[in-house]
Amino acid sequence: MLGPQGAGKGTQAQRISRETGAKHIATGDLVRAEIKSGSELGEAVKDYNNRGELVPDEIIIEMTKPHLEKHDAWLLDGFPRNEAQARALDEALEELGLELDAAVVLEAPDKELVERLSGRRTSEATGKIYHVEHDPPPEGDGEDPGPFIQREDDREESIRRRLEIYHEHTKPLKDYYVEKDILVTVDATQAIPEVTKDVMAALERKDA
């Protein structure tokens, strides 16, 4: 799944993973888990993450590769983010004898994304993504007890930097996947369930 920060890649991947059983592999989650563990690798990637910069390609590729091998079906969220990563993914898939079914791009204008990211909250207990207005965290002792936290990189200067990087390095990947004839574009300005419907329909068409 491709798309700018805040377009809803994580939100949609979590919903589709629940519906289809495909494994959700989010490189941002892998990075944050490494930071939380306090490992040497976590220390090495922490500054990149907090400033909104990309973690160096060789680190992110090594973090991602083992997860591809473990599952028959998966949704990759946040990887690849530039052409070097896209080529590394192609090589890894070729070694594993796998192919990408689709590259789904969620599209939404920058001004809407900043508002979404500022209101994002993530459950520390379950990792589920919420928004203070559009998808509020449950109150009281529900199925998700929280706490609901704001990400370190959801501050205005990091958000702006992440969007700059998206436009410069990740958006050009659309052409890469057009050439492979697997690109699907979905309007991500719609309400969350509508976007899920469109992504599912697009995946079914690609699967047919």
Q: Which residues bind ligand AP5 (CB under 6 A)?
A: 3, 5-11, 27-28, 31, 48-49, 52-55, 60, 78-79, 81, 85, 116-117, 119-120, 129-131, 134-135, 153, 162, 188, 190-192, 195
What does the alpha-carbon distance between residue 163 and residue 147 come to, in Å, rounded to a whole number? 27
Give me the least distance between CB of 70 and ligand AP5, in Å please: 18
- Of 9, 15, 46, 128, the active-site residue reads 9
- Least separation in angstroms between residue 116's CB and ligand AP5 is 3
Residue 208 CB, nearest approach to ligand AP5 (Å): 26
Choose between 3 and 146: whose C-beta lies nearer to ligand AP5: 3
Q: Is 15 a catalytic residue?
A: no
Query: Helices then strands (H, E): number in the chain?
Result: 9, 7
Q: Which is nearer to ligand AP5, 99 or 115 (CB)?
A: 115
36 in active site: no
Q: Output the six-digit token pair for 201.
A: 């329909």
Q: Which is nearer to ligand AP5, 6 or 146 (CB)?
A: 6
Active site residue 205: no
Residue nearer to ligand AP5 on the CB measure, 178 or 191: 191
Q: Has 81 been annotated as catalytic?
A: yes
Sign, Cα dihedral of 54, 58, 63, 67: positive
Could you say which of 32, 46, 81, 116 is catalytic?
Answer: 81
Give the span between the Cα atoms of 4 and 165, in whole angstroms: 9
- Residue of 15, 120, 121, 128 with catalytic role: 120
Tokens coding 156: 């205005």
Is position 206 annotated as part of the catalytic site? no
Q: Give the residue from 176, 95, 128, 101 showing the smallest Cα distance to 24.
A: 128
Which two structure tokens, joined as six digits, stand for 187? 């309007």
Q: Which of 23, 151, 160, 174 is catalytic?
A: 151
SS (H, E, C) 6-73: CCCHHHHHHHHHHHHCCEEEEHHHHHHHHHHHCCHHHHHHHHHHHHCCCCCHHHHHHHHHHHHHCCCC
Q: Which residue is nearest to ligand AP5 (CB)?
A: 28
Residues marked as catalytic: 9, 81, 120, 151, 162
